Amino acid sequence: MVTITTVETLQDAAANKGQGTAFLGGGTLLMRGVNYGDQNVSRIVRLRQPESLAGVSSEGERVRLGACATMATILKSADVAFLHAVARAVGGPAIRNMATVGGNVFAPHPYGDFAVALLALDAKLRMSDGSELELERLLAARETETRLIESVSAMRPAGDDFRFLKVTRVKPRGASVLSIAAWLPRRAGRISGARVAFGAMAPTPVRTPAVEAALEGVSLDQNGIDRALQSVANDLNPPDDSLASGWYRKEVAPVHLKRLLLGQGTR
C-alpha cells in the first residue's frame, strides 16, 4: 500500500524522504510504478503547489528552470527556445504536460532525453538543502541521492552552438535508441570547450570526454570531426534493451554524431 504525504515546501518534502519514499514530479514514472505494484515505493511525498517551483527565467548567460517545470512549460517559454526541440522530443503531448525537469534527471534508461541536453549545457542543480551540485556528479550517484532538486541552471548557447538529436524506432514519438546533445562554442571558427552528451548509451546520460577532446580546436567539417567520430566507441558501453542491442547502439552512434555535428538530418 502506498501512502501520500502532502507538504508545502521542498524542504518539508526532503525532510520526509527516506527508505521507500519518493517525491512526486509529474508522476509519469512514479504512478506507472504504483499502478503496477512497485514494491520499492511505499510513500509518495508531494508539494501542494508544485507551480511554485515551475518557473523559467534568464540569469545572464544562463537560464534557470524550476525542477517542477514541465516539458510543456519549457515549450511555452521564449527564454529557452534552444530547448524547445529537446522538450518536444519527450513523449507525446499529454506526457509533456506532466513530465518535469526534475523527474527527467532521475528517469531510468532509455529515458532522460532532457537531462542529456542539460548535461551538454553544463547544468548545475540547486538542491533542497541549498547546496549546488553539477548534474554530472548527481547522475554518477543518483541511486543514493536523498536530496531533492529545486532548480537547474544551464548555459544559454549562442547561435547554433547547441544541437540535439534523438533516434527512435517508433515515429513520430518513441523512446530513445539514443540521443545526443552537443554544445559547441567556437572561437574564430574552431571549437573551444565542446561538451557532448549521450542518452540511452549508458545507465544514465553521460558525457563523452574522448569525443570532446578530439573536437578541441577543430572546425566543423568532415576532416575536423573524423577523430571525434573514431573516439565515440571509447567512451560508451551501451546496454541492450527491447529497442536495440548495445552492439547496434555502438555501431550507429558515430553515424548520428556525424549528422549532428555536420548539421545533416534531423536535429
Q: Is 32 in the site for ligand FAD (CB under 6 A)?
A: yes
Instruction: Using CB positions, name the residue nearest to ligand FAD.
Output: 103
Q: What is the DSSP string of 152-215?
A: EEEE---TT-EEEEEEESSSSS--EEEEEEEE--EETTEE-S-EEEEESSSSS-EE-HHHHHHH
Q: Which does 194 bind (CB under 5 to 8 A by kind): another protein, ligand FAD, none?
A: none
Phi-psi region of 208 (alpha: psi -120 to 50; beta: other; left: phi over 0): beta
- Choose the binding region for another protein from 31-39, 60-68, 142-150, 197-205 (rule: CB under 8 A): 31-39
Please state, as a whole number, how many other Cβ atoms lie within 10 Å of the Cβ of residue 181: 28
Phi, then psi, of 91 in degrees rounded to 5: 55, -165
Q: Which 122-181 residues touch another protein, going by CB under 8 A? A: 172-173
Q: Is 208 in the site for ligand FAD (CB under 6 A)?
A: no
For ligand FAD, which residue of 148, 177, 194, 218 counts as binding (CB under 6 A)? 148
- Choose the binding region for ligand FAD from 22-30, 221-229, 233-241, 246-254 (rule: CB under 6 A): 22-30
Minimal distance in Å, beta carbon 139 to ligand FAD? Answer: 12
For ligand FAD, which residue of 73, 82, 91, 117 counts as binding (CB under 6 A)? 91
Give the C-alpha separation, 209 to 199, whole Å. 14
